[in-house]
Structure 1
Amino acid sequence: MKPGIHPAYGPVVFRDANTGNAFLTRSTATSTDTVEWEDGNTYPLITVEVSSDSHPFWTGAQRLMDTAGRVEKFNRKYGRK
């Protein structure tokens, strides 16, 4: 790798905005917000809207799509004449 062309890679805390769950990982993302972690160190804080803690696929709260209603709506709008 060439020196000086890659972004800094370091520890960052990501917090889910919906559930408040936070986890410490490494990333190139940066932030001016900081948080004191469980180990007593201060890390940059990135707030995300959706994480595996709140995503419907991972929580099992998926909604079923009303495909019949969508087909009927399509047929009313573009139906055969």
Structure 2
Amino acid sequence: MKKKIHTNNYRIVVFKDMTSNDTFFCKSTILTKEKIHLNGKEFPLYKMEISSFSHPFYTGQIKYVDATGRIDKFYKKYKKKNKNKYIFNLIT
């Protein structure tokens, strides 16, 4: 491993999963603006949308997203204006 390329400013950071509101501690060099008080101490806080607490692979729960409704809405919106466009003729 090359020397003098890794940072030395590791510190304890609290990572918070915003989907499940679970938190965990980890050493990191990530820059944060927010802080959180846990166990009587103040730690830097990093908020994330998904982690192993909420990811379907780790939880075993499948969460379906209504992607078909958004796709249908897209086609309805743009088919009216661009009815003769080549790309829509290929798709439909």
| Pairwise TM-score range, normalised by the shorter structure | 0.5 to 0.7
Q: Where do 1:1-81 residues align within 5 Å? A: 1-2=3-4, 6=7, 8-38=9-39, 40-62=40-62
**How many pairs align?**
64
1:29-78 per-residue CA deviation (whole Å, 9 max, x = no partner) reads: 1201000012x110100001111000000010136xxxxxxxxxxxxx68
Aligned alpha-carbon RMSD (Å)? 2.3
Query: TM-score scaled to structure 1, two decimals?
Result: 0.67
Contiguous gaps of at least 5 residues in structure 2? 64-89
One-letter amino acid of the counterpart of residue 57, structure 2 = F
Could you say which structure has the greater relative contact order, defined with CA pairs below 8 angstroms and 6 or more residues apart?
1
User: How far apart, in 1, do the equivalents of 2:31 and 2:8 lie?
Assistant: 10
The aligned amino acid for 1:32 is K
More helix by share: 2
User: Structure 1 residues 30, 37: closer, same or farther in 2, change over 3 A?
Assistant: same
Aligned-residue identity in percent: 33
